[in-house]
Amino acid sequence: MTARLLMIEDDQRLAGMVKEYLSSNSMQVTHAATATEGLALLKRETFDLLLLDLMLPDGDGLELCGQVRRQSSLPIIMLTARGDPMDRVVGLELGADDYLPKPFEPRELLARIRAVLRRPHYANAEQRQVLQFGQLEIDIDARIARVRGTEISMTSHQFELLKTLAQHAGRVLSREQLLDLVKGETLESFDRSIDVHIARIRAAIEDDPKHPRRIITVRGVGYVFAAAQE
Protein backbone atom coordinates (compact mmCIF):
# COMPACT_ATOMS: atom_id res chain seq x y z
CA MET A 1 0.00 0.00 0.00
CA THR A 2 1.28 3.47 -0.87
CA ALA A 3 2.36 5.49 2.16
CA ARG A 4 1.03 9.05 2.34
CA LEU A 5 3.57 11.59 3.56
CA LEU A 6 3.30 15.27 4.37
CA MET A 7 6.48 17.29 3.98
CA ILE A 8 6.57 20.72 5.64
CA GLU A 9 9.64 22.35 4.11
CA ASP A 10 10.23 25.89 2.82
CA ASP A 11 13.10 24.89 0.50
CA GLN A 12 11.20 24.34 -2.73
CA ARG A 13 14.18 22.78 -4.50
CA LEU A 14 14.78 20.24 -1.73
CA ALA A 15 11.08 19.47 -1.44
CA GLY A 16 10.85 18.85 -5.19
CA MET A 17 13.84 16.51 -5.13
CA VAL A 18 12.50 14.55 -2.16
CA LYS A 19 9.03 14.33 -3.63
CA GLU A 20 10.34 13.03 -6.95
CA TYR A 21 12.58 10.43 -5.32
CA LEU A 22 10.00 9.15 -2.83
CA SER A 23 7.29 9.07 -5.49
CA SER A 24 9.50 6.73 -7.53
CA ASN A 25 9.57 4.46 -4.47
CA SER A 26 5.81 4.06 -4.07
CA MET A 27 5.24 6.95 -1.68
CA GLN A 28 2.77 9.79 -2.12
CA VAL A 29 4.17 13.12 -0.93
CA THR A 30 2.17 16.27 -0.26
CA HIS A 31 4.25 19.41 0.20
CA ALA A 32 3.55 22.45 2.38
CA ALA A 33 5.97 25.40 2.42
CA THR A 34 4.81 26.89 5.74
CA ALA A 35 3.70 25.74 9.18
CA THR A 36 0.28 27.30 8.62
CA GLU A 37 -0.26 25.43 5.37
CA GLY A 38 0.98 22.19 6.92
CA LEU A 39 -1.35 22.41 9.91
CA ALA A 40 -4.30 23.07 7.60
CA LEU A 41 -3.45 19.95 5.59
CA LEU A 42 -3.15 17.86 8.74
CA LYS A 43 -6.65 18.89 9.77
CA ARG A 44 -8.15 18.10 6.36
CA GLU A 45 -6.31 14.95 5.32
CA THR A 46 -4.87 11.74 6.73
CA PHE A 47 -1.16 10.99 6.45
CA ASP A 48 1.08 8.10 7.47
CA LEU A 49 4.15 10.18 8.32
CA LEU A 50 5.30 13.81 8.63
CA LEU A 51 8.64 15.12 7.34
CA LEU A 52 9.19 18.32 9.30
CA ASP A 53 11.76 21.05 8.69
CA LEU A 54 12.74 22.86 11.88
CA MET A 55 13.36 26.26 10.28
CA LEU A 56 10.12 27.54 8.79
CA PRO A 57 9.27 31.09 7.67
CA ASP A 58 6.20 31.37 9.91
CA GLY A 59 7.04 29.25 12.92
CA ASP A 60 9.51 27.10 14.78
CA GLY A 61 9.56 23.45 13.77
CA LEU A 62 10.14 22.29 17.34
CA GLU A 63 6.98 24.04 18.50
CA LEU A 64 5.08 22.56 15.56
CA CYS A 65 6.41 19.10 16.42
CA GLY A 66 5.08 19.42 19.97
CA GLN A 67 1.74 20.71 18.74
CA VAL A 68 1.28 17.83 16.31
CA ARG A 69 2.30 15.25 18.90
CA ARG A 70 -0.21 16.59 21.45
CA GLN A 71 -2.97 16.03 18.91
CA SER A 72 -1.98 12.74 17.31
CA SER A 73 0.49 9.85 17.18
CA LEU A 74 1.49 10.61 13.58
CA PRO A 75 5.13 9.52 13.03
CA ILE A 76 7.46 12.52 12.65
CA ILE A 77 10.93 12.69 11.11
CA MET A 78 12.65 16.03 11.66
CA LEU A 79 14.84 17.58 8.95
CA THR A 80 17.16 20.47 9.73
CA ALA A 81 20.33 22.27 8.70
CA ARG A 82 20.87 23.49 12.26
CA GLY A 83 23.90 21.83 13.78
CA ASP A 84 23.03 22.16 17.46
CA PRO A 85 22.75 18.65 18.99
CA MET A 86 20.29 20.08 21.52
CA ASP A 87 17.76 20.51 18.69
CA ARG A 88 17.81 16.76 18.22
CA VAL A 89 17.42 16.10 21.94
CA VAL A 90 14.54 18.56 22.30
CA GLY A 91 12.83 17.31 19.16
CA LEU A 92 12.97 13.68 20.25
CA GLU A 93 11.72 14.62 23.72
CA LEU A 94 8.81 16.46 22.09
CA GLY A 95 7.81 13.23 20.38
CA ALA A 96 9.67 13.10 17.06
CA ASP A 97 10.51 9.57 15.93
CA ASP A 98 13.73 10.29 14.05
CA TYR A 99 16.06 13.12 13.07
CA LEU A 100 18.01 13.66 9.85
CA PRO A 101 20.45 16.56 9.39
CA LYS A 102 20.82 18.34 6.08
CA PRO A 103 22.29 17.72 3.62
CA PHE A 104 21.18 14.11 3.42
CA GLU A 105 21.08 11.33 0.85
CA PRO A 106 17.56 10.58 -0.42
CA ARG A 107 18.31 6.87 0.01
CA GLU A 108 19.00 7.40 3.71
CA LEU A 109 15.77 9.34 4.12
CA LEU A 110 13.86 6.54 2.40
CA ALA A 111 15.46 3.97 4.69
CA ARG A 112 14.56 5.98 7.78
CA ILE A 113 10.96 6.43 6.61
CA ARG A 114 10.59 2.70 6.01
CA ALA A 115 12.15 1.92 9.40
CA VAL A 116 9.70 4.21 11.22
CA LEU A 117 6.71 2.85 9.33
CA ARG A 118 7.77 -0.72 10.15
CA ARG A 119 7.62 -0.09 13.87
CA PRO A 120 4.79 -2.12 15.45
CA HIS A 121 3.08 0.99 16.85
CA TYR A 122 2.63 2.39 13.35
CA ALA A 123 2.41 -0.80 11.33
CA ASN A 124 -0.98 -1.40 12.95
CA ALA A 125 -2.20 2.19 12.61
CA GLU A 126 -5.26 1.09 10.65
CA GLN A 127 -6.18 -1.23 13.54
CA ARG A 128 -6.03 1.50 16.18
CA GLN A 129 -9.04 1.50 18.45
CA VAL A 130 -10.70 4.86 17.88
CA LEU A 131 -14.34 5.42 18.77
CA GLN A 132 -16.06 8.22 16.85
CA PHE A 133 -19.34 9.80 17.92
CA GLY A 134 -20.03 12.95 15.91
CA GLN A 135 -17.52 15.58 17.07
CA LEU A 136 -16.28 13.32 19.91
CA GLU A 137 -13.31 11.06 19.22
CA ILE A 138 -11.98 8.58 21.78
CA ASP A 139 -8.56 7.15 20.93
CA ILE A 140 -8.33 4.12 23.19
CA ASP A 141 -4.73 3.23 22.32
CA ALA A 142 -3.42 6.76 22.88
CA ARG A 143 -5.82 7.33 25.81
CA ILE A 144 -6.83 10.68 24.34
CA ALA A 145 -10.28 12.17 23.81
CA ARG A 146 -10.91 15.04 21.41
CA VAL A 147 -13.89 17.27 20.70
CA ARG A 148 -13.88 18.91 17.27
CA GLY A 149 -10.24 17.91 16.89
CA THR A 150 -9.11 19.51 20.15
CA GLU A 151 -7.73 17.28 22.89
CA ILE A 152 -9.68 17.59 26.11
CA SER A 153 -8.09 17.47 29.53
CA MET A 154 -9.20 14.70 31.88
CA THR A 155 -7.72 12.41 34.49
CA SER A 156 -6.97 8.76 33.79
CA HIS A 157 -10.02 7.82 35.90
CA GLN A 158 -12.27 10.06 33.82
CA PHE A 159 -10.91 8.74 30.53
CA GLU A 160 -11.49 5.17 31.72
CA LEU A 161 -15.08 6.00 32.61
CA LEU A 162 -15.73 7.75 29.29
CA LYS A 163 -14.20 4.86 27.34
CA THR A 164 -16.24 2.29 29.26
CA LEU A 165 -19.50 4.15 28.76
CA ALA A 166 -18.76 4.63 25.03
CA GLN A 167 -17.87 0.98 24.54
CA HIS A 168 -21.29 0.10 25.96
CA ALA A 169 -23.19 2.82 24.10
CA GLY A 170 -26.94 2.45 24.35
CA ARG A 171 -26.74 0.25 27.44
CA VAL A 172 -27.73 1.58 30.86
CA LEU A 173 -24.93 0.93 33.33
CA SER A 174 -25.33 1.14 37.09
CA ARG A 175 -22.57 2.59 39.24
CA GLU A 176 -21.72 -0.93 40.37
CA GLN A 177 -21.45 -2.14 36.79
CA LEU A 178 -19.19 0.76 35.90
CA LEU A 179 -16.92 -0.06 38.83
CA ASP A 180 -16.79 -3.67 37.67
CA LEU A 181 -16.10 -2.78 34.02
CA VAL A 182 -13.36 -0.24 34.68
CA LYS A 183 -10.15 -2.24 34.58
CA GLY A 184 -6.84 -1.43 36.25
CA GLU A 185 -8.25 1.26 38.52
CA THR A 186 -8.64 1.14 42.30
CA LEU A 187 -12.23 1.07 43.47
CA GLU A 188 -11.42 3.74 46.03
CA SER A 189 -10.85 6.17 43.18
CA PHE A 190 -14.50 5.92 42.19
CA ASP A 191 -16.36 4.95 45.33
CA ARG A 192 -18.34 7.98 46.51
CA SER A 193 -17.07 10.19 43.64
CA ILE A 194 -18.25 8.55 40.43
CA ASP A 195 -20.95 11.21 40.00
CA VAL A 196 -18.34 13.94 40.33
CA HIS A 197 -16.24 12.30 37.61
CA ILE A 198 -19.27 12.06 35.33
CA ALA A 199 -20.03 15.75 35.90
CA ARG A 200 -16.48 16.68 34.92
CA ILE A 201 -16.58 14.51 31.83
CA ARG A 202 -19.81 16.20 30.79
CA ALA A 203 -18.21 19.60 31.30
CA ALA A 204 -15.48 18.55 28.88
CA ILE A 205 -17.52 16.90 26.11
CA GLU A 206 -21.05 18.29 26.24
CA ASP A 207 -22.14 21.51 24.53
CA ASP A 208 -24.46 22.15 27.49
CA PRO A 209 -23.35 20.11 30.54
CA LYS A 210 -26.50 21.07 32.44
CA HIS A 211 -28.59 19.44 29.71
CA PRO A 212 -26.36 16.55 28.57
CA ARG A 213 -27.13 14.74 25.35
CA ARG A 214 -24.21 12.32 25.30
CA ILE A 215 -24.03 10.90 28.85
CA ILE A 216 -27.58 10.61 30.13
CA THR A 217 -28.61 9.97 33.75
CA VAL A 218 -31.19 7.22 34.20
CA ARG A 219 -32.60 8.07 37.61
CA GLY A 220 -32.43 5.29 40.14
CA VAL A 221 -30.31 3.14 37.81
CA GLY A 222 -27.15 4.78 36.48
CA TYR A 223 -25.92 6.23 33.19
CA VAL A 224 -26.22 5.55 29.48
CA PHE A 225 -24.00 6.79 26.68
CA ALA A 226 -26.03 8.00 23.71
CA ALA A 227 -24.29 6.99 20.48
CA ALA A 228 -26.68 8.94 18.27
CA GLN A 229 -27.94 12.45 18.87
CA GLU A 230 -30.91 14.24 17.39
pTM of the predicted model as reported, rounded to 2 decimal places? 0.54
**Domain of 168, in residue numbers:** 130-225
Domain presence at residue 135: yes
Q: How many domains does the chain have?
A: 2
Residues 7, 120 within the same domain = yes
Residues 59, 97 within the same domain = yes
CATH of the domain at 74: 3.40.50.2300
Over range 3-19, report the average pLDDT. Answer: 94
Residues 148, 96 within the same domain = no
Over range 161-185, report the average pLDDT. Answer: 83
Q: Whole-number mean pLDDT of the chain? A: 84
Domain presence at residue 60: yes
Over range 49-72, report the average pLDDT. Answer: 87
Q: What pLDDT is stored for residue 58 in this prediction? A: 92
Residues 100, 194 within the same domain = no
Q: Which neighbouring-strand residues pair with 52?
A: 8, 78
Residues 52, 144 within the same domain = no
- Cα first-last separation, the chain: 38
Q: Residue 37 — very low, low, confident or very high, per pLDDT cuts 50/70/90?
A: very high
Residues 57, 71 within the same domain = yes
Q: What pLDDT is stored for residue 120 in this prediction? A: 53
Residues 176, 154 within the same domain = yes
Burial pattern 135-172, b for ≥16 Cβ within 10 A else e, equals ebbbbeeeebbbeeeeebebeebbbbbbbbbbebeeee
Over range 127-132, report the average pLDDT. Answer: 71
